[in-house]
Amino acid sequence: MTETKDFVKIVGIVEVTLKDAATGEIIHREQGYNTIVAQGKAYMRRNIIQHSTQYNGNYLCLSGSSSTPSDGETSVPSLITPVKTATKSIVTEGGAEYMRWEATWATSEANTTIYSVAIAENSDGTGEWARYVFSNAINKTSTQELTITYSILLQ
């Protein structure tokens, strides 16, 4: 008799949309897989077993770092302000359920060169869960809005 077992794999997907605020024209869009760091995996495990400390991952953080995230990264490097409190939800797409974080930086916010985005536990970038490095740096200006949609799927 062959026994089948369920295995869980965590997949993080990031969608980046930079658009002209006046016209709505998309200037840059990309989607890719992020790195979920060891600390983020530990937070998720603790939440699943309802450990005494619960983790919220409330914040989306922009970063001036283009370095590849290491598994041991615990804080968002080169944090760019403002940090955003994410709108969090569970969504179903294509038959799969995703945990989703989303935030938009308005024309008056984060007008600088941005290299990556992260989910963090705290508004100072500590307690990092995951980080995604853009394929190319984004030079956001005061005429543009940047929307980040971060999705995590347990397969």
Query: Domain limits of the chain?
Result: 10-154
DSSP string covering 83-143: EEEPEEEEEEETTEEEEEEEEEE-TTS--SEEEEEEEESSTTSBSEEEEEEEEEEEE--TT
SS3 48: helix
Question: What mean pLDDT is reported for the chain?
Answer: 91
Q: Once rounded to an integer, what is the mean pLDDT over residues 71-86? A: 97
Query: Does residue 152 surpass a pLDDT of 90?
Result: no
pLDDT at 107: 98
Distance of alpha carbon 1 from alpha carbon 154, whole angstroms: 28
pLDDT at 1 over 80: no
- pLDDT band of residue 85 (cuts 50, 70, 90) is very high
Using the predicted structure, report yes or no on whether residue 8 has a pLDDT greater than 80.
Answer: no
* Lowest model confidence (mean pLDDT) among 63-67, 87-91, 102-106: 87-91
For a pLDDT cut of 70, what percent of the chain falls above it? 94
Q: What is the pLDDT of residue 53?
A: 73
pLDDT band at 39 (very low <50, low <70, confident <90, very high): confident
Q: Residue 132's pLDDT is what? A: 96
Nearest Cα to Cα of residue 101 among 55, 31, 40, 151: 151
To the nearest 5 percent, what fractions of the chain are helix, strand and coil? 5, 55, 40
Residue 38 has pLDDT above 90, yes or no: no
- Please give the model's pTM, rounded to 2 decimal places: 0.87
pLDDT confidence bin for 140, thresholds 50/70/90: very high
